[in-house]
Structure 1
Amino acid sequence: MLRTEIAIRGSVCYGDLGCFTDEPPWGGTAERPLGLLPMSPEAINTRYFLVTRENPDYFQEIISHSSVSTSNFKPNRKTRFIIHGFVNTAERGWQMEMCQVMLEVEDVNCFCIDWRGGSFTLYTQAANNIRVVGAELASFIGYLSKNYDYSPSMIHIIGHSLGAHVAGEAGKRVPGIARISGLDPAGPLFQNTPPEVRLDPTDADFVDAIHTDTSPLIPKIGLGMAQSVGHLDFFPNGGQTMPGCGTNSHFQLLFDNYLACNHLRSYKYYTESIRTPDAFVAFPSDTYEAFMKVNNWQVRDSHAPVLVAL
Structure 2
Amino acid sequence: MHISYGSCWPNFHLYSKQNLNSFKNLNSSKVLKLSFDFTKEVKLIIHGFSSDGNSKRITLIKDSILKNNDVNVIIIDWSEGAVAPDYITAKDNTKIVGKKISEFLFMNDINPSKVHCIGHSLGKNFFSDGAKIKFTQTFGTSLIGEL
TM-score normalised to structure 2 length: 0.88
Find 1:100's aligned residue among 63, 66, 81.
Answer: 63
Query: Matches of residues 46-57 of structure 1 in structure 2 within 5 Å?
Result: 46-57=10-21
Shift of 1:65: 3.2
Q: Is the 8 A contact 1:45 1:116 kept in 2?
A: no
> What root-mean-square deviation, in Å, do the aligned CA atoms of Structure 1 and Structure 2 show?
2.1
Poorly superposed stretches of 4+, deviation over 6 Å: none
Tell me which residue corresponds to 1:159: 119
Query: Matches of residues 1-310 of structure 1 in structure 2 within 5 Å?
Result: 39-41=3-5, 43-71=7-35, 73-121=36-84, 122-145=86-109, 150-171=110-131, 173-175=132-134, 177-184=135-142, 212-213=143-144, 223-224=145-146
Shift of 1:64: 2.4
In structure 2, give the amino acid aligned to 1:174: I
Q: Sort the Cα spacing of 1:224 and 1:46 in 2 relative to 1 into closer, same or farther, 3 A.
A: same
Higher relative contact order (CA 8 A, sep 6+): 2
Q: Percent identity?
A: 25
Distance, in Å, in 2 between the alignment partners of 1:41 and 1:164 is 20
Q: Sort the Cα spacing of 1:174 and 1:45 in 2 relative to 1 into closer, same or farther, 3 A.
A: closer
Distance, in Å, in 2 between the alignment partners of 1:179 and 1:75 is 18
User: Matched residue of 2:21: which SS?
Assistant: strand
Q: Sort the Cα spacing of 1:125 and 1:83 in 2 relative to 1 into closer, same or farther, 3 A.
A: same
